[in-house]
Structure 1
Amino acid sequence: MTTNNSIAAARTPKIDPANIDQQAQSFINASTAWFQMHWLQIIIAIAVATAIVLALFFARRLGNKLCERSPGTAGWGKVFGRAIIKTGNFFIIMVAAKLVSGYANAPPEITTTINFLFTLSAVFQAAIWAREIILGSIEHRTQSEHYSGEALGSAMGIIRLLVTFALFAIALIVVLDNLGVNVTGLVAGLGVGGIAIGLAAQGIFADLFAALAIIFDRPFRRGDAITYDQSSGTVEAIGLKSTRIRAATGEERIIANKNLLDKEILNNSQREYRRIKFTLGLVQWTPIETMDHLPDMLKEVVEGCGYKFVRAGFLNFSASSYDFDLEFDSETAAYEDFFNARNAVGLAIIRRFNNENIEFAYPTQTAFTAAPQGGMIYPYPGEEEPVEPRVKAAPPKPKGPPVPSPDRSAVDQDGHQT
């Protein structure tokens, strides 16, 4: 154990205060010699750097004006204006120093220091700009949407945390890599940690990213009437994890954002009209002339009610009817207009069919009797079914001894036969 500690102590570099003082003295001497030899260039470089700093400060002030002039709560002008406002003073100074360091012929010690500080400030400043633009883009995307303020605030809080962590982790890795540090292990550690967090909260992140997909892709918004799976209703709120939909029957349905996007969604509010279909079954003894003129008749009925006729024609042969198909459109996409159009045209068709003596079919069956030989149908074609004569049956004979017939001769009052 002692040997291992001795080896570790031997491998650990020791900080020599005398060496630090020597390096500091060397840096001061180089700077003094550089200033004595290039004082005019240094003064000009300082003047140019000052002008650059003032210009960048002025540009940062323009960010405030962009925020004030941008319409809405999160217009593109305000997005970029907020990013410009986040420009740091240290970054501005290092930009000016970087631009003029070459003109002034600075010694390697000063040039190396300027390059390091400029890289450090530029990387983190770029991360800040990227964060503001990403978050501003999300807010701009959602400013015209009818999302719940509480849900959007929660979503933006989590999004800000994730975006900030990701961007600054990348910035730190870039800085360390420029300093010559081996960042392979750090990248691997961050990757493993991210995977572990993702697996632990995959359900929450799935619904969160689904909410972001709803925000950016805009398949629907609050107030839209949608149909999904076997359900339909009006969107009342789009939250961080779930969406609330008010059904036509009155109940509120809550479905997770991920599950909702996994289904086919019909946005009825984006329609220009609703198509209505009727299937009309006519009795099979309807004259062919009547069926020839039926599409034109249906067109007159639909247009007479004020709706757009699409098509009508023979559909198929049913067991008890000849079926015709009718399609027409309502005036708007509103369900009330769809319901009224269906009611008006349906009643008009019934009224017209009654006037034209056209009968709707109903389920019917015809019974046939087989002939005694089993090969033909009875009654025979063209013949009437014979009717057997009915024979009056004799009254039944009474049971028991025979009863003598009464004497049919008349008897007078004195008992004499007449």
Structure 2
Amino acid sequence: MSFNWINESTAINLALALVITLISYIVIRRLITAITGRIASWSSRSSHGWTHYLGEIIGRTSRLLILLMAIQMGLYVIDLSPAWESRVSHIWFLVLALQFGLWMDAAVLLWARSALSSKSGHQRSQLTMTMISLMVRTALWAVVLLSVLANLGVDITAFVASLGIGGIAVALAVQNVLSDLFASLSIGIDKPFEQGDFVVFGDIAGSIEYIGLKTTRIRSLSGEQVICSNTQLLQQTIHNYKRMSERRVLFQFDISYRTPTEKVAEVAPLVKQIITSLEKTRFDRAHLLALESNALKFEVVYYVLSSDYNQYMDIQQSINMALLKELEQRQIKFGMPVRSLEFLEDVPVIQRASSDVDESRMVQK
């Protein structure tokens, strides 16, 4: 095989370019390794977590892109034609744009991972963080791709316009799906409820089992699974009972009108004494609310210092049992519906009236 086309000058330039490429590659690799090691030592001595993430981001530098950069450095010692000079200059931008995209992509992934693993990570939905990171990464690589195409001389104006028109057409075709998707994103960001919360809306009451991209699944009290669209769910007025730190309780009871006044005055302090003696309760008020037609009505308000419904029922049961016992000891009876009957003394009048009615009926017949 003949290599007559390679003269001495070309051979020297190629050898020099190869040496410069190897040296550049080694130097850049060593430099990145040194920077990463220095940042790692800083992060071990510093309380700031961003230094650790900075080291991980720089550590994501692509070896292939480093090699391409080193080859470009080696090509500078060779006299290239104007066409090749232009191509090499475009490769510079391609390498830098791709490496910048890799760094930013790593930063987004690290941010999502740190957000989920932080102390407040239980308040963040993994689905939401995944969606946000996916959207940001998609937008990032779209910008990188368009920048590379524009640098290569491609007219991206028509391309961007066609993408916009196509995006509008797709959005109109799948608007219900996109509506539920963004509703899911809204649930993840605003967090009106989370997995495990007990919610009530409309005639549905149950615990949140799963929050998906399109639907939310709720395990109702009767046992079946209720599947709701995210969009329709956010349009409801939702009562989230899991976030209730305390429960306000209002109840009423009646006592008889035959109760002496001095004993009626003892009822409100008695109720206060019963409620304050129980744990996880806070007494608010107890009053003689109204003089009803058949009983004296009392109204009581207190707070249960827990969101547990079973605990509230246990406390209310204890209050009711104590009221029964204390009122019985004081011979105070609860109010009952009373109906009184009055009889007329002049019975013959009633009989005559009834006979007159009978006579009138006979006449009509």
TM class by shorter chain equals 0.5 to 0.7
Match of 1:339 among 285, 290, 313: 313
Rounded to whole Å, the distance in 2 between the matches of 1:139 and 1:209 is 21
Contact 1:316 1:324 in 2 (8 A): yes
Letter in 1 for 2:27: A
Match of 1:225 among 198, 216, 220: 198
TM-score by length of 1: 0.59
Contact 1:141 1:215 in 2 (8 A): no
Deviation at 1:113, TM superposition (A): 6.0
Contact 1:101 1:111 in 2 (8 A): no
Letter in 1 for 2:61: T
Matched, 1:125 2:99: yes
Rounded to whole Å, the distance in 2 between the matches of 1:238 and 1:308 is 35
Q: CA RMSD in A?
A: 5.1
Counterpart for residue 167 of structure 2: 194
- The C-alpha deviation readout for 1:185-241, integer Å capped at 9, x for no partner, is 222221121122222222223333333344444444333333334422222233332
TM-score by length of 2: 0.65
What secondary structure does 2:249 align onto?
A: strand
Match of 1:330 among 285, 298, 304: 304
Aligned pair count? 325
Rounded to whole Å, the distance in 2 between the matches of 1:340 and 1:132 is 53
Matched, 1:257 2:233: no
What secondary structure does 2:252 align onto?
A: strand
Rounded to whole Å, the distance in 2 between the matches of 1:240 and 1:389 is 82
Contact 2:286 2:301 in 1 (8 A): no
Contact 2:282 2:304 in 1 (8 A): no
Rounded to whole Å, the distance in 1 between the matches of 2:72 and 2:258 is 97
Counterpart for residue 267 of structure 1: 240
Deviation at 1:332, TM superposition (A): 3.1
Rounded to whole Å, the distance in 1 between the matches of 2:147 and 2:20 is 33
Letter in 2 for 1:317: A
What secondary structure does 1:249 align onto?
A: coil
Counterpart for residue 303 of structure 1: 276
Contact 1:242 1:256 in 2 (8 A): yes
Contact 2:287 2:300 in 1 (8 A): no
Q: 1:148 to 1:164 in 2, by over 3 A?
A: closer
Rounded to whole Å, the distance in 1 between the matches of 2:237 and 2:53 is 34
Matched, 1:277 2:250: yes
Percent of paired sites with the same residue: 26
Rounded to whole Å, the distance in 2 between the matches of 1:168 and 1:259 is 33
Structure 1 runs not aligned, ≥5 long:
1-27, 70-74, 369-384, 394-418
Deviation at 1:300, TM superposition (A): 0.5
Deviation at 1:311, TM superposition (A): 1.0
Deviation at 1:301, TM superposition (A): 0.9
Counterpart for residue 51 of structure 1: 27
Deviation at 1:289, TM superposition (A): 4.5
Q: 1:85 to 1:47 in 2, by over 3 A?
A: closer
Matched, 1:173 2:146: yes
Match of 1:211 among 181, 184, 188: 184
Rounded to whole Å, the distance in 1 between the matches of 2:338 and 2:55 is 77
Q: 1:78 to 1:389 in 2, by over 3 A?
A: same
Rounded to whole Å, the distance in 2 between the matches of 1:389 and 1:198 is 88
Rounded to whole Å, the distance in 1 between the matches of 2:90 and 2:180 is 42
Rounded to whole Å, the distance in 1 between the matches of 2:182 and 2:335 is 54
Deviation at 1:245, TM superposition (A): 1.9
Q: Relative contact order, CA 8 A, sep 6+: which one is greater? A: 2
Structure 2 runs not aligned, ≥5 long:
1-8, 352-365
Counterpart for residue 240 of structure 1: 213
Q: 1:77 to 1:220 in 2, by over 3 A?
A: farther
Letter in 2 for 1:243: T
Q: 1:282 to 1:194 in 2, by over 3 A?
A: farther
Rounded to whole Å, the distance in 1 between the matches of 2:192 and 2:313 is 25
Contact 1:147 1:237 in 2 (8 A): no
Contact 1:53 1:96 in 2 (8 A): no
- The C-alpha deviation readout for 1:24-74, integer Å capped at 9, x for no partner, is xxxx99xx8xx9xxx9xxx999967853442225557899x99xx9xxxxx
Deviation at 1:165, TM superposition (A): 4.3
| Structure possessing the higher radius of gyration over alpha carbons | 1
Counterpart for residue 185 of structure 1: 158
What secondary structure does 2:61 align onto?
A: coil
